[in-house]
Amino acid sequence: MLFSVDAHTIGCHLTGNEVYIRNLLNEFAELDRSANFLAYLSKPDANRFVARRFTKRKVSENPWIRLGFEIPASLYRDRPNLLHVQYTGPIACPVPMVATVHDVSFVEHPEYFTSFRAHQLKLTVKRTVRRAARILTPSEFSRRSIIAAYGVPGDKVTVIPNGVSSAFRPMHHQAAIDWVRERHGIQQPFILTVGDLQPRKNHLGLIQAFEETVRAHPELPHHLVVVGKETWYASHVRRAAQRSCVADRIHFTGWVSDEDLRYFYCASDIFVFPSLYEGFGLPILEAMACGRAVLCSNAAAMPEVANAAGILFDPCSTTEIARAMQDVLLDAELRTRMERLGLQRAASFGWSRAAQKTLDVYYDVADGRRSSVSRSEKRKVVPAST
């Protein structure tokens, strides 16, 4: 078997999309020793994130060149058993295609995107979904949304929850605090949020809720730390922070690596995720895996991910967000209980399990036959019975 994967997001700092495909490839290398894998990469340093035994093909960062010419040419030449893409497949695809669609926010909430980006995604994802042999998505919420948006049969859409990387784990709180102070100059205890600076992440609502919290409890010394990549919307978020009465307490770090992100999680007092829409919400699990109490939205897929291990609030109500933050900051017993529940919840999500289920889909689509006994060890293709 030869499975090809469009992994151009690796090294592009595309957060969720990059984390997803990078972790799957890492696990594939351990789970399946019999199949061959072909990864399409764009960034020069992406090779170091992909197993040495995998075949790599350099493709353009320009999507028109990559999807219009380079990947189709490779598919015709190499003839893999399938191609796995995220959201958008190539113009021509002579092999079966598996498409991961994390969510359809561009259909349900186009206002979260530039008009061009929303229009482009509507066109390309619709074509990809109809062309795909199987669609993967990380939550039941997204599965229902995909079926409603595109009218595809339910058995074509498979839910495979994301995992949480082993890079995210508890560490000594004071050691993490010292690291953040030395690297970023943040000396006060802080509330953390993680997410690209884009509309649906609801940074504006969080900033207002943080103001309300400080006004209601001026004795709290906490600052607000925002970790996330700059986007077209970043100026709106930064302007809101600058105009805030607590502007001197709000810090932006930009994008950080997973290794550095672990320090921020472990140094924070609480983690708040006020997003308006998520097909999953990986930072929820990452924060839980680092032993932080998590407060998150009760919208979209986030209750499905957090379950009873998170404090849920209405993301459209700054009063609810502020009240949730105050409750957890002021109640050490509640905070400790949520930290314990979060660790238990995060432990049930692993990339190995996600990769194993994804490989099952690969073999099913490619019509392969294999022994179920070897799935947790080396994958072995078993000849089809006659």
Average pLDDT of the chain, as a whole number: 93
pLDDT tens digits, residue range 4-47? 999 999 988 767 899 999 999 999 999 999 999 999 999 988 88
State the Cα–Cα distance between residues 332 and 20, nearest whole angstrom: 34
Q: Are 31 and 379 in contact (CB under 8 A)?
A: yes
State the Cα–Cα distance between residues 288 and 281, nearest whole angstrom: 12
Angle at the Cα of 163 from the Cα atoms of 160 and 165, rounded to 5 degrees: 155
Amino acid 248: pLDDT: 97
Q: DSSP character for 111?
A: G
pLDDT tens digits, residue range 326-381? 999 999 999 999 999 999 999 999 999 999 999 999 999 998 544 333 344 444 43
Amino acid 15: pLDDT: 73
pTM (predicted TM-score): 0.91
3-state secondary structure 155-215: HHEEECCCCCCCCCCCCCHHHHHHHHHHHHCCCCCEEEEECCCCHHHCHHHHHHHHHHHHH
Percent above pLDDT 70 for the chain = 95
Whether residue 134 has pLDDT greater than 90 = yes
Closest-CA residue to 17 (of 121, 95, 94): 121
pLDDT tens digits, residue range 94-132? 999 999 999 999 999 999 999 999 999 999 999 999 999
3-state secondary structure 117-133: HHHHHHHHHHHHHHHCC
Amino acid 14: pLDDT: 63
> Residue range 250-259: average pLDDT?
94
C-alpha torsion sign, points 39, 43, 46, 52: positive
**Which structural domains are found in the chain, ordered by start?**
2-163+350-374 (3.40.50.2000), 173-346 (3.40.50.2000)
> Residue range 84-94: average pLDDT?
97
State the Cα–Cα distance between residues 306 and 288, nearest whole angstrom: 9
Q: Are 81 and 96 in contact (CB under 8 A)?
A: yes
Amino acid 56: pLDDT: 95
Amino acid 368: pLDDT: 52
Amino acid 231: pLDDT: 94
pLDDT tens digits, residue range 300-312? 999 999 999 999 9
Confidence of residue 219 (pLDDT cuts 50, 70, 90): very high
